[in-house]
């Protein structure tokens, strides 16, 4: 068996060691035992919202395993809940999966199989495994029982096959109003697993569907549609999160009772519709969800954040959506690295936000070019240079990787430096510029502060002399001073809007409402600051979505919607170091 080392497209990294989580062990064992010639997985999002970082874990697993074991992975839209679904989400999900670096084998929709589900339901009626029930939703709840008490059988449970077939056909024909009847599996009202107490398979819902229009007034329930969709597509390993563990007996019940493998009449029209089909008996395997602190991940809360205007939409760079992370400058490689680090298990845990940030830094440190930018400018005048002095200084684009080449940075008499790099009355241990003191200007040489210009209490400029003996190639070039600061040339720098993003929540568990607060009360008021800074020309000129390290400042991305060379807009992806490690 050959294992491909890397799942994602566009990876040029050295082969990684084979991963050894329990899902991969199962797949290895199944292949070794000859249970499958090739494996097939699927990623099955419901198109009722944007994908978030938790989905990235599932995507990396579903697509990653398929690629590693030479199998295939479908993207399937689980579109059985038409009232909550939208084509806008469908397009975004496709874009996000590709952005993460994966390509699906086939694009499918649960709605492609509505006719298969319908025929399968009829088969279950014919074999005595399903019945039409007239109980209302409330009555069904009453009959269901509790965790400690068995349920009671529906009075409609023993309808004849003929009556069930007639009623189900009339449900399908649209004769009955929403909620008046359901088709239910006939399993066991006394089962310890409540999911097996005659669960609904179909409900009546007169609502338009984005793919099937008004063709269907009835829609299949999740467990029925999901298990059969997996079987139809020949999925071998159906990977899902732990909350579906209790549904697995029902999943297996549907697959076994319908038995698509031995009943081609239920699906044999699909290939003619361009949907090649080779049914399997899929195996469901559950793994723990990704949870990250300082974040909310439920779709309901993400929808609320957007709907209540607490963020600027789904792609707000503070959102844990893939669209938001992308706009923030997070790379697909960083998310794949996170998925790998977090690993796959059945243990529920909360990952510290710093693990995500660490993955982002690791990728950007290796791959982001360096540039100079000043975000809180103070004028520095090199008084011993001529007023019309201009030169270009070659800077390496990356300190550890010569392949990134060099660029020319303009330098002249007037510069911008960071205000915090100068202190008129220095505090102890301050090693940057002070009156009468020296500092190295990155790439230039050593300057000494000879004068401080003030307007009232505010320092408006510092005047310095440049020691020509310390310039590149001169005998004093290696002379040591304690501090090195960065700068941009005032004459050539481009004004830029810079958005300093931080965590959206100040509480590690924004969902904790034990003190009567909700996640809305834990929003970080400093999660976005907008500043006007100055960037060197070679920073302004980058394409949108280019990620850069602004030296000494952090990692930034040229905003994919608003950046242009004339009006640069940069989003801070992450600071250079973890500023949250110490409690604030």
Please give the Cα distance from 322 to 335 (Å, whole number): 9
Catalytic residue among 19, 205, 289, 471: 289
Shortest reach from residue 94's CB to ligand ATP, in Å: 13
Q: Assign 271 to helix, strand or coil.
A: helix
Tokens found for residue 274: 């361009």
Shortest reach from residue 57's CB to ligand ATP, in Å: 4
Minimum CB distance to ligand ATP smaller for 222 or for 269: 222
Minimum CB distance to ligand ATP smaller for 41 or for 397: 41
Q: What angle do CA 232, 234, 238 make, to 5 degrees?
A: 100
Q: Which residues bind ligand ATP (CB under 6 A)?
A: 44-46, 48, 54-55, 57-58, 240-241, 289-290, 297, 299
Q: Assign 168 to helix, strand or coil.
A: helix
Catalytic residue among 19, 28, 46, 157: 46
Are 512 and 295 contacting, i.e. CB atoms less than 8 angstroms apart?
no
DSSP string, 202-227: EEE----BTTTBTS-SEEE-HHHHHH
Shortest reach from residue 396's CB to ligand ATP, in Å: 40
Shortest reach from residue 416's CB to ligand ATP, in Å: 43
Are 255 and 231 contacting, i.e. CB atoms less than 8 angstroms apart?
yes
Size of the chain, expressed as the number of residues it contains: 584
In the chain, how many H helices and how many E strands? Answer: 13, 25
Minimum CB distance to ligand ATP smaller for 110 or for 449: 110
What is the DSSP-derived secondary structure letter of residue 437? -
Q: List the one residue out of 251, 227, 263 whose CA is nearest residue 113.
A: 227
Minimum CB distance to ligand ATP smaller for 60 or for 444: 60
Shortest reach from residue 157's CB to ligand ATP, in Å: 30
Please give the Cα distance from 343 to 22 (Å, whole number): 10
What is the DSSP-derived secondary structure letter of residue 433? B
Please give the Cα distance from 80 to 225 (Å, whole number): 8
Let me know if 479 is a catalytic residue: no
Shortest reach from residue 53's CB to ligand ATP, in Å: 8
Minimum CB distance to ligand ATP smaller for 55 or for 563: 55
Q: Assign 269 to helix, strand or coil.
A: coil
Which residues does 346 contact at the CB level (< 8 Å), separation at least 6?
22, 242, 286, 287, 288
Let me know if 299 is a catalytic residue: yes
Are 371 and 498 contacting, i.e. CB atoms less than 8 angstroms apart?
no
Please give the Cα distance from 256 to 279 (Å, whole number): 12
Catalytic residue among 248, 299, 318, 432: 299
**Partners of 210 in the beta sheet?**
none
User: Which contiguous run of DSSP H or E holds residue 444?
Assistant: none
Shortest reach from residue 267's CB to ligand ATP, in Å: 23
Residue of minimal CB distance from ligand ATP? 54
Let me know if 94 is a catalytic residue: no
DSSP string, 3-69: --S--STT--SPPPPPP--HHHHHHHHHHHTTS-SS-EEEE---SSS--BHHHHHHHHHHHHHHHHT
Shortest reach from residue 518's CB to ligand ATP, in Å: 18
Please give the Cα distance from 221 to 203 (Å, whole number): 7
Cα radius of gyration (the chain) = 31
For the annotated catalytic residues, the residue numbers are 46, 289, 299
């Amino acid at each position: 068996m050959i294992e491909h080392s890397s799942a994602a497209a566009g990876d040029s990294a050295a082969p990684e060691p084979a991963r050894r989580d329990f899902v991969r062990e199962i797949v290895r064992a199944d292949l070794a035992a000859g249970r499958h010639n090739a494996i097939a997985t699927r990623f099955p999002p419901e198109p009722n919202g944007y994908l978030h970082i938790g989905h990235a874990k599932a995507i990396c697993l579903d697509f990653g395993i398929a690629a590693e074991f030479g199998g295939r992975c479908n993207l399937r839209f689980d579109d059985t809940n038409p009232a909550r679904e939208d084509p806008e989400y469908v397009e975004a999900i496709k874009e996000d999966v590709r952005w993460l670096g994966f390509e699906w084998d086939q694009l499918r929709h649960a709605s492609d199989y509505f006719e298969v589900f319908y025929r399968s339901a009829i088969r279950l009626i014919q074999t005595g495994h399903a019945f039409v029930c007239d109980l209302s939703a409330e009555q069904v709840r009453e009959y269901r029982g509790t965790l400690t008490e068995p349920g009671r059988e529906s009075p409609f449970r023993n309808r004849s096959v003929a009556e069930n077939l007639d009623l189900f056909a009339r449900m399908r024909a649209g004769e009955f109003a929403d909620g008046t009847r359901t088709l239910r599996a006939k399993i066991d009202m006394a089962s310890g697993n409540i999911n097996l107490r005659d669960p609904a398979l179909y409900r009546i819902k007169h609502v338009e569907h984005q793919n099937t229009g008004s063709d269907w007034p009835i829609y299949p329930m999740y467990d029925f549609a999901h298990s059969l969709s997996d079987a139809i597509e020949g999925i071998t390993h159906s990977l899902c999160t732990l909350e579906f563990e209790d549904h697995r007996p029902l999943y297996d019940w549907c697959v076994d009772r319908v038995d698509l493998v031995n009943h081609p009449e239920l699906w044999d029209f699909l290939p003619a519709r361009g949907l090649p089909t080779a049914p399997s008996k899929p195996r469901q395997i559950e793994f723990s969800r990704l949870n990250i602190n300082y974040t909310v991940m439920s779709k309901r809360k993400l929808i609320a954040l957007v709907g209540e205007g607490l963020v600027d939409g789904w792609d707000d760079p503070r959102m844990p959506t893939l669209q938001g992370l992308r706009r923030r400058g997070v790379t697909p490689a960083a998310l794949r690295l996170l998925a790998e680090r977090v690993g796959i298990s059945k243990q529920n845990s909360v990952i510290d936000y710093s693990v995500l940030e660490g993955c982002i830094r690791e990728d950007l440190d290796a791959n982001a070019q360096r540039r100079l930018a000043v975000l809180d400018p103070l004028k520095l005048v090199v008084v011993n240079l001529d007023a019309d002095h201009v030169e270009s200084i070659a800077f390496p684009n990356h300190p550890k990787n010569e392949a990134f080449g060099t660029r020319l940075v303009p330098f002249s008499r007037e510069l911008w430096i960071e205000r915090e790099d100068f202190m008129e009355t220095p505090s102890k241990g301050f090693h940057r510029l002070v009156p009468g003191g020296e500092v190295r200007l990155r790439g230039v040489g050593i300057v000494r502060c000879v004068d401080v210009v003030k307007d009232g209490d505010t320092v408006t400029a510092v005047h310095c002399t440049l020691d020509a003996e310390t310039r590149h190639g001169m005998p004093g070039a290696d002379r040591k001073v304690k501090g090195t600061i960065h700068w941009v040339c005032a004459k050539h720098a481009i004004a830029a809007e810079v958005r300093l993003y931080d965590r959206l929540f100040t509480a590690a568990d924004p969902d904790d409402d034990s003190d009567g607060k909700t996640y809305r009360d834990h929003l970080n008021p400093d999660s976005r600051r907008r500043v006007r800074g100055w960037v060197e020309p070679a920073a302004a000129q980058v394409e949108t979505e280019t990620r850069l390290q602004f030296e000494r400042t952090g990692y930034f991305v040229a905003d994919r919607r608003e950046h242009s060379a004339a009006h640069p807009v940069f989003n801070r992806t992450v600071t250079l170091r973890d500023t949250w490690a110490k409690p604030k």
